[in-house]
Amino acid sequence: MSKLSITAYTFGVLFFIVSCSFSIFYGIKVVTHDLPSEKKTQEKYNYHFVLIPEELDNEYWRLVEKGAKAAAEDYGVMLEYVGPKQANIEDHLKTIEMSAASKVDGIMTQGLSDEQFTPLINRVVEKGIPVITVDTDAANSNRKAYIGTDNYYSGYLAGKALIADTKGRANVAIITGSFYKNHQIKRVQGFQDAVKPEENIHIIDIQESEISRVQAAEKAYQIVQEHPEVNAFYGTSALDGIGIAQVVKKYRKNEQIYIMGFDTLPETLNYIREGIINATVVQEPFEMGYESVKMMIDLIEGKKVPSVIHTNTKILRAGDLPPASRKRMEGNH
Ligand code: BGC
């Protein structure tokens, strides 16, 4: 063999070895990369819970889901998040029924109305599946526990804040998520009771948005057309204040119209920064989700769980917002 062919041969062998080690290395990488997901499907969870919201893609409910998923990961729970695409009582009830039929270990959901939810919750609990109400309570049902805002108190706080901010003089229109759902009724009641002693606060109109931002805007538009004397709005669910703000910004920008909203979704905070929404009621959706999973585990494991846990509620105004540079941190709660 000539020198040249020996060198070529050595290079060939070297090349072969190098490419073999590459393919072995990547081969192994591919295999190990695939392994965890295979393992995941076989992983044993301690429990299987279902969280059923009023509206699946509602940003507020996504925060509750985020909290519940975080706890599920921390405590080895398989958590499903299922429910109506758009708020719909029939679909909501059907989802609870189906979850119970598939024998999950626990159901977290709202107790939206006594008439429709209480008998169903009672039937599910009777079957041995614990139910925890989250965000909205069906206090007269046999649900095991409630975690969420004290809805009456939150409405009362909103009323007191509106009195303080308007110096006790306002013609108010209320847009509520629903006339028939427990939490929305309480948020209106608390507000009405707070403003009742005020001689110069008048509630002019109350309309319903079916928790849709578009409907909230339509109702707000109708109110500004029909009641030019209205100079304050109170929206009682997460998208109502946003719908009201859109209308006020477009049609009544140069007037002093006070808006009290609900929740701290990014759009609401932007309107607060702009000065269109004056104040909002803060709820703790992430915490509701997280704690509901923990409570459910405690219940199943026979530990004592309080029957009602109220998460924090307070009023937030522009001055309470962090400086713009910390904006990115918002939206977690
Ligand atoms: C309520 C939720 C409701 C959501 C609608 C929130 O303020 O707590 O129950 O589904 O608003 O956008």
The predicted-structure confidence for 282-307, as pLDDT tens digits, reads as follows: 999 999 999 999 999 999 999 999 99
Alpha carbon nearest to ligand 1 atom 1, residue: 237
- Nearest ligand 1 atom to alpha carbon 61: 10
Q: For tokens 């009771």, what's the residue?
A: 193
The pLDDT value given to residue 22: 44
150 φ, ψ (degrees, to nearest 5): -80, 100
Question: Which of 235, 237, 159, 145 has the alpha carbon at shortest distance from 201?
Answer: 159
**Domain match, 162 and 101 both:** no
What are phi and psi for residue 309, nearest 5 degrees?
A: -125, 115
Distances (CA, A) of 307 to 54, 111, 237, 249: 22, 14, 25, 43
Which residues make Cβ contacts (< 8 Å) with residue 228, sequence separation at least 6?
none
Q: Whole domain around residue 234: which residue ranges?
A: 151-282+316-332
Q: Is residue 38 situated within a structural domain?
A: no
Q: Is the pLDDT of residue 246 over 90?
A: yes
* Alpha-carbon span 298 to 15, nearest angstrom: 61
Confidence tier at 7 by pLDDT (50, 70, 90)? low
Q: Residue 321 pLDDT more than 70?
A: yes
Beta strands in the chain (DSSP E): 47-52, 77-81, 106-109, 131-134, 145-148, 170-176, 201-208, 232-235, 258-262, 279-282, 308-310, 314-317
pLDDT, tens digit, 9 for 90 and up, residues 10-44: 555 555 554 544 444 443 333 333 334 444 444 68
- Asked, for residue 56, whether it belongs to a domain, the answer is yes
Q: Please count the structural domains in the chain.
A: 2
Cβ of 134 closer than 6 Å to ligand 1, yes or no, is no
DSSP state of 56: T
pLDDT per residue as tens digits for the range 271-287: 999 999 999 999 999 99
CATH code of residue 108? 3.40.50.2300
Question: Residue 54: CB within 6 Å of ligand 1?
Answer: yes
How high does pLDDT run on average in the chain? 89
